[in-house]
């Protein structure tokens, strides 16, 4: 890259930084006053003209400064060579806060609270994807002679509880046999494999409790199937109101997309599978790159979380394209790392 191109990249970085901080269009005089760019105001004006002609910045009003375009933000993010990690004290505080969680639900709730506070954006965490999980334990509890409680626990700490209504009373002796049969069938199996094994155990059950087993299997198989409406946790939605003007009248559609969750879940999933446009394992989707008209004017910064080499799900933040990308990337990377560590050790 030529020195002129390097300089223009520095000018673009300065414009992005100032615009994010001030929310006001940035002029050449402000760049000279605030940044040590080593060139005259005239040279900076020429560089800004080139950047505007190439589509990296735009002049929103006559006689005003410039603001970055989505293309400008993309170039800015791609030019980040190294993300400054959070301080040791910040990382220690994050770990301590997450380690205080009592179960998976609490870990994820704490994670979104942390991310929304650190980034001042909307935080999103996807529940561990069930087809990547393994059954750790299945408990069968008698509530009444004709009603059972099934408690399924995965290796990620996810706990699902379901009740089963029986057509006939089940004795304690037969309950013990049902518990053993079901537990041995699903224990230490991937959920997809456990579902397949359950479908074939009816013939192994004694006639005295076969009907009870079949009822339990029906409920368990339904539990092992993904339920998209129960897959993400949101935090900090109110942060969007501080940036309403950035969404150019589309804030309502963004809020509706967050409420319906389907669009956000797809973005987290696609970011994990594509794995591009990222920095240090964090994926950055800017504006139109999300390919979601419902959240136009928004950017999504996301990452996978999980144990070493085993992704459990995705997490990230959603906010206006005018966001602190380096700080957001560092925060998402740190929280994802510690959530993965904690869940991997449970």
Residue 170: how many CA atoms within 13 Å on its side-chain side? Answer: 28
DSSP 8-state code for residue 129: P
Phi-psi region of 288 (alpha: psi -120 to 50; beta: other; left: phi over 0): alpha
State whether CATH 1.10.238.10 applies to domain 3-78. Answer: no
Interval 86-111: pLDDT, tens: 889 999 999 999 988 888 889 999 99
| pLDDT under 70: residue ranges of the chain | 1-2, 63, 130-132, 225-230, 248-249, 270-280, 308-309, 345-346
Interval 117-140: pLDDT, tens: 999 999 999 888 766 678 889 999
Specify the CATH number of the domain 88-129+229-344: 3.30.450.40
DSSP 8-state code for residue 149: E
CA of residue 224 relative to chain centroid, distance: 22
Question: What is the topology classification, in CATH, of domain 131-225?
Answer: Enolase-like; domain 1 (3.30.390)
- Angle subtended by helix axes 104-119 and 88-99, to nearest 10: 150
The SS3 of residue 253 is: helix
Measured between alpha carbons, how far is 290 from 303 in angstroms, rounded to an integer? 15
Measured between alpha carbons, how far is 53 from 38 in angstroms, rounded to an integer? 23
Q: What is the pTM of this model?
A: 0.76
In this structure, the chain runs to a length of: 346
Domain-wise residue ranges, the chain: 3-78, 88-129+229-344, 131-225
Cα separation values, 47 from 15, 36, 52, 66, Å: 12, 15, 9, 12
- Which pLDDT score, from 0 to 100, does residue 175 have? 94
Measured between alpha carbons, how far is 300 from 172 in angstroms, rounded to an integer? 53
């Amino acid at each position: 890259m030529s020195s002129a191109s390097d300089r223009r990249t520095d000018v673009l970085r300065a414009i992005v930084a100032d615009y994010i901080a001030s929310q006001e269009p940035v002029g050449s005089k402000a760049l000279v006053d605030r940044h040590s760019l080593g060139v005259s105001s005239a040279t900076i004006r020429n560089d800004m003209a080139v950047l505007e002609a190439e589509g990296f910045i735009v002049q929103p009003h006559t006689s005003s400064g410039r603001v970055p375009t989505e293309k400008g933000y993309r170039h800015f993010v791609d030019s980040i060579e190294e993300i400054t990690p959070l301080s040791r004290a910040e990382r220690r505080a994050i770990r301590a806060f997450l380690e205080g969680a009592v179960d998976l639900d609490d870990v994820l709730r704490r994670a979104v609270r942390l991310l929304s506070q650190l980034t001042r954006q909307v935080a999103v965490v996807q529940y561990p994807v069930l087809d990547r999980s393994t059954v750790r334990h299945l408990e069968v509890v008698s509530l009444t002679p004709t009603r059972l409680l099934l408690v399924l626990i995965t290796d990620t700490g996810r706990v699902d509880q379901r009740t089963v209504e029986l057509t006939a009373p089940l004795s304690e002796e037969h309950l013990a046999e049902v518990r053993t049969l079901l537990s041995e069938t699903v224990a230490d199996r991937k959920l997809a494999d456990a579902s397949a094994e359950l479908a074939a155990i009816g013939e192994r059950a004694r006639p005295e409790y076969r009907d009870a087993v079949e009822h339990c299997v029906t409920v368990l198989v339904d539990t092992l199937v993904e339920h998209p409406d129960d897959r993400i946790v949101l935090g900090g939605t109110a942060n969007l109101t501080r940036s309403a003007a950035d969404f150019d009248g589309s804030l309502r559609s963004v809020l509706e997309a967050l409420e319906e969750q389907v669009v956000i879940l797809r973005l987290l999933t696609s970011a994990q599978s594509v794995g591009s446009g990222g920095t240090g394992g964090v994926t950055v989707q800017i504006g139109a790159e999300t390919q979601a008209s419902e959240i136009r004017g928004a950017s999504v910064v996301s990452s996978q979380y999980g144990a070493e080499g085993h992704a459990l799900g995705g997490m990230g933040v959603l906010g206006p394209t005018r966001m602190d990308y380096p700080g957001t990337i560092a925060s998402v990377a740190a929280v994802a790392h510690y959530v993965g560590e904690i869940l991997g050790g449970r």
